């Protein structure tokens, strides 16, 4: 059996690290395409090195431009790979432009699509990731959902076949990364931080960086917190460019370059709290049992709010805390590989 997978962004590299190992263990041949959506070496190369992901068979180098232009270029180039490789399955992750391009290219060639992290919904169609994930789910034949609520979301859209609640592959990756980070990461020492004595923040989404008004509000929120405790901000290239473009500043914040997964894991694990507009980091905060504030008006991961580990920045406080059983026990990747292997035999 041959499977082509598509990655292009930091969260996809992390998920692929766990799933690719499980696919290899199940005897499934994988051909990986890296679209190039995250083009900065700090957002890309270090993840392949740290996580032990084999270098992709195809690196397309597509980044920048409008969403339509980027997705269109990816669609054209991925289609050419599929015509050459003739795989049995296409595997895509999450909700990036790379995800939708891979799913579209495969579906148009009648190659079945498997979607990791299916069924996730923010119910905000103004966010491009929501469009990507909805369309990808409706193109997929195997839908690997991380939570029971994701299964409910799919059923509400008429999707009930091929749905498998396997847990969250990010949890698999986090368990492995924390054990390794404890022995190799020196990020806290390098930044002069003590455990529990700082916040960690990330800002990169378009709704927070595309206008000076939105970015000013986010930065002021972080700066207010930084008066009492350091706020560490690994700086996404999009955010750095936006601050320069709008004539804003990072005064009062503790900046560092984009971090590899092990350093970021160790930074989050020792933080007082996490402040983010990232979907994946909301869950990573929970995996390390750190409270999170989501710098958005909604979240795809409502269970983190319902169980008291996360809140929207517009909310005054957290719900009572509980555990989130839906994310599984760290074997989601093995379960995904087993289902794909079974589908190949069917």
DSSP, res 37 = S
Q: Distance between CA 19 and CA 53 in Å, rounded?
A: 10
d(CA 342, CA 346): 6
3-state secondary structure of 316: coil
Instruction: Judge contact between 139 and 112, C-beta under 8 A.
Output: no
Active-site annotation holds for 204: yes
Which of the following is catalytic: 164, 204, 236, 288?
204
107: left (phi over 0), alpha (psi -120 to 50) or beta: alpha
Tokens of 288: 């390390």
C-alpha angle 164/166/171, rounded to 5°?
Answer: 150
Q: Could you give the CA distance from residue 198 to residue 229 in angstroms, rounded to a whole number?
A: 6
CA proximity to 171, closest of 330, 50, 338: 330
- Tokens linked to 270: 């020792």
Structure tokens at 308: 């008291």
Query: 4 forms bridges with which residues in the sheet?
Result: 31, 90
What interhelical angle do 97-108 and 128-139 show, nearest 10?
A: 30
DSSP H/E element including 292: strand 292-294
How far from chain centre, in Å, is Cα 274? 16
Catalytic residues: 204
């Amino acid at each position: 059996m041959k499977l082509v997978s598509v990655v292009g962004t930091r969260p996809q590299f992390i998920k692929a690290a766990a799933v690719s190992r499980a696919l290899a263990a199940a005897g499934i041949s994988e051909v990986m395409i890296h679209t190039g959506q995250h083009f900065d070496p700090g957002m890309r190369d270090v993840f392949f090195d740290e996580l032990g992901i084999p270098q992709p068979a195809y690196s397309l180098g597509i980044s920048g431009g409008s969403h339509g232009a980027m997705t269109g270029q990816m669609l054209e180039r991925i289609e050419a790979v599929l015509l050459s490789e003739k795989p049995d399955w296409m595997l895509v992750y999450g909700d990036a432009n790379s995800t939708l391009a891979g799913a579209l290219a495969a579906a148009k060639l009648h190659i079945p699509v498997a979607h990791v992290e299916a069924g996730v919904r923010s119910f905000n169609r103004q966010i491009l990731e929501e469009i990507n994930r909805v369309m990808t789910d409706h193109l997929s034949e195997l839908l690997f959902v991380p939570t029971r609520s994701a299964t409910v979301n799919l059923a509400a859209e008429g999707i009930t076949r091929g749905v498998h609640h396997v847990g969250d592959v990010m949890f698999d990756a986090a368990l492995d990364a924390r054990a390794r980070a404890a022995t190799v990461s020196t990020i806290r020492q390098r930044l002069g931080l003590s455990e529990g004595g700082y916040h960690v923040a990330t800002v990169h989404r378009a709704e927070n960086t595309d206008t000076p008004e939105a970015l000013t509000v986010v930065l002021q929120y972080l700066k207010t917190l930084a008066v009492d405790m350091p706020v560490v901000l690994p700086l996404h290239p999009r955010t750095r460019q936006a601050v320069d473009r709008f004539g804003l500043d990072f005064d009062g914040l503790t900046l560092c370059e984009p971090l590899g997964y092990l350093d970021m894991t160790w930074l989050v694990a020792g933080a007082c709290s996490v402040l983010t507009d990232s979907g994946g980091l909301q869950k990573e905060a929970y995996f390390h049992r750190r409270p999170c504030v989501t710098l958005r008006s909604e979240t795809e991961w409502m269970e983190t709010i319902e169980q008291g580990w996360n809140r929207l920045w517009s909310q005054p406080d957290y719900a009572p805390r509980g555990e989130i059983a839906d994310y599984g026990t760290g074997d989601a990747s093995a379960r995904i590989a087993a289902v794909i292997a079974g589908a190949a035999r069917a």
